[in-house]
Chain A
């Protein structure tokens, strides 16, 4: 009962925030709704019992990546987006039917070939920091190290890209 209500609330906030992201004209409003999506996704992760991923989601996604976005929006002072009057004609004709087809196909695949519909029970925490750390540093050690190199490259790339060329 409780998990149903919580799931419905946070799923609604997620999807609503995502749609609001597209509906808003100003980038900063979009960024705010994306932050709301991230926050409620963290709650959804908690409902699924993935506590460590939920915390990482808040700290890194909402607390660092989105701050970067907000920072760049403020720095560039990009105003509202001017919509082009002439959109792609193909998109106009095929957009809505294509979307419907995609949604229906996804729904069909999910219900037909969906996983065993095991109910999700609240309060079972599977992804403890301990278990995830053990996996990261045993089975996934090489990908982990490669990711750290990737991030190092990203840092250097960002520094090189963003500095003024002399």
Chain B
């Protein structure tokens, strides 16, 4: 059923509100999960006081961020200093609009995919989204560098500046490996539309091996992507832009209260986006067994998708609790001399296999 403009806008607004709410909650609870898991890895308990298992800790943290004094040091470049965290947060939250979370659902006489930028193709009744969705996500994430670079520069402090210089060099370098690792998947699927990429991975071989891209020979690409993603989101072992033992706190040294919280939320939102992209491109998106009554059938794909995200979040935290930080020259050497050639080789082999089969 084609929608009129009013319904379209209403549906879009409802989807945006839900997405922002879920994303921010997910960020808050990733922080809780991180503190809990790292605590257990280090033989501690993590947060336990606020609520059962410390489950209300994110709420207390949020309250603390709001109530703290918002300092602006006198020596900063004011406009850019205030602009930078907003830029970082905006870029981090925008890319979630392009992520398809589930297939088309039917409710209240309206059918729509669970994706902010998705629509239903009225001819086929299947979901559709932007032709170049993946490219737009890459573009938005590449703009995220500016938040960090400008924060470090405008703070007018040497630790911040060093952190920002490290961050911009690191993110630009690893973006190449990240982008190239996706090319193999793109060769296999022949489209930039994330919805179409997921649809191609539905179903199984011999009834038990899922047709995920990771099982179609993209396993090296997956690990290249994962490592580049750690660097893109400035997580351990590539967290040199904020290395606390050498740079105080790196690019956000001079930030406090809500402005610091914006960087914090932006980092976790970026982690979630990267995890979403990994599960869409390599792990089959929302594919999984669907059964039961209609309401369960609608919600199960979203559950399978969320399960993958939680898995990736756990991997992030696990790695953080396990690995030491790289030295900066090691980081650059690893990106340029190891990941980059490996990604190129992966493209070459994938292209040869696809050409040979065709």
A–B direct contact (CB < 8 Å): yes
Binding site for B on A (CB under 8 A): 28, 32, 35, 39, 42, 51-52, 55-56, 58-59, 62-64, 67-68, 70-71, 73-75, 125, 128-129
A55-B136, A63-B175, A67-B145 are known; give 17 further A-B pairs, CB within 8 A. Answer: A28-B153, A39-B143, A42-B139, A51-B131, A58-B136, A58-B139, A58-B142, A63-B143, A67-B171, A70-B149, A70-B150, A73-B153, A74-B152, A74-B168, A75-B165, A129-B132, A129-B192
Shortest A53–chain B CB gap in Å is 10
Asked if residues B143 and A62 are in contact (CB atoms below 8 Å), the reply is yes
CB-contact partner of B139 in A32, A62, A68, A73, under 8 A:
A62
Contact with A along B163-196 (1 / 0, CB 8 A): 0110011011001000100000000000010000
Known contacts A55-B132, A129-B132; A71 and B149 CB within 8 A of each other: yes
* Nearest residue, chain B, Cβ from A68: B172
B residues with CB within 8 A of A: 80, 131-132, 135-136, 138-140, 142-143, 145-146, 149-150, 152-153, 161, 164-165, 168-169, 171-172, 175, 179, 192
A-B residue pair count with CB separations less than 8 angstroms: 73
How distant is A134 from chain B, measured CB to nearest CB, in Å? 12
Q: Is the interface of B mostly helix, strand, loop or mixed?
A: helix
Cβ contacts under 8 Å, A74 to chain B: 149, 152-153, 161, 164-165, 168
**Contact indicator A52/B143 (Cβ below 8 Å):** no
Across the interface, name the chain B residue whose C-beta is closest to A66: B146
Q: Are the C-beta atoms of A67 and B135 separated by less than 8 Å?
A: no
Q: Which residues of B contact A42 (CB under 8 A)?
A: 139
Could you give 21 example pairs across A and B, Cβ below 8 Å? A28-B80, A28-B153, A32-B80, A35-B146, A52-B132, A55-B138, A58-B142, A59-B135, A59-B142, A62-B139, A63-B138, A64-B142, A67-B149, A68-B172, A70-B149, A70-B150, A74-B149, A74-B164, A125-B131, A129-B131, A129-B132
Residues of A within 8 A of B175 (CB): 63-64
Please, how many angstroms separate the alpha-carbon atoms of A74 and B171 in the complex?
16
Nearest neighbor of A38 in chain B, beta-carbon distance: B143
3 closest A-B pairs (Cβ-Cβ)? A63-B142, A58-B139, A55-B135
The CA of A129 and the CA of B149, in the complex, are separated in Å by: 31
Docked pose: A62 CA to B139 CA in angstroms: 8
Residue of B136, B140, B146, B152 touching A67 (CB-CB under 8 A): B146
Complex CA gap A71/B152 in Å reads 11
Give complex CA distance A59, B142 in Å. Answer: 6
Could you say which residues of chain A place their CB within 8 Å of the CB of B135? 52, 55-56, 59, 129
Chain A residues contacting B161 (CB-CB under 8 Å) are 74
* Inter-chain contact A71/B146, CB cutoff 8 Å: no
Instruction: Give chain B nearest CB distance to A125 CB in angstroms.
Output: 7
Please report the C-alpha to C-alpha distance between residue A128 and residue B145 in the assembled complex, in whole angstroms: 27
List of A residues within 8 angstroms of B192 by Cβ: 129
Nearest CB in chain A to that of B136: its residue: A55
Complex: A64 Cα to B178 Cα, angstroms: 14
Query: A128–B192 Cα gap in the complex (Å)?
Result: 10
Q: Is the CB of B146 within 8 A of A70?
A: yes
Q: How far is the CA of A62 from the CA of B138 in the complex (A)?
A: 12
Residue numbers in A under 8 Å from B164 (CB-CB): 74
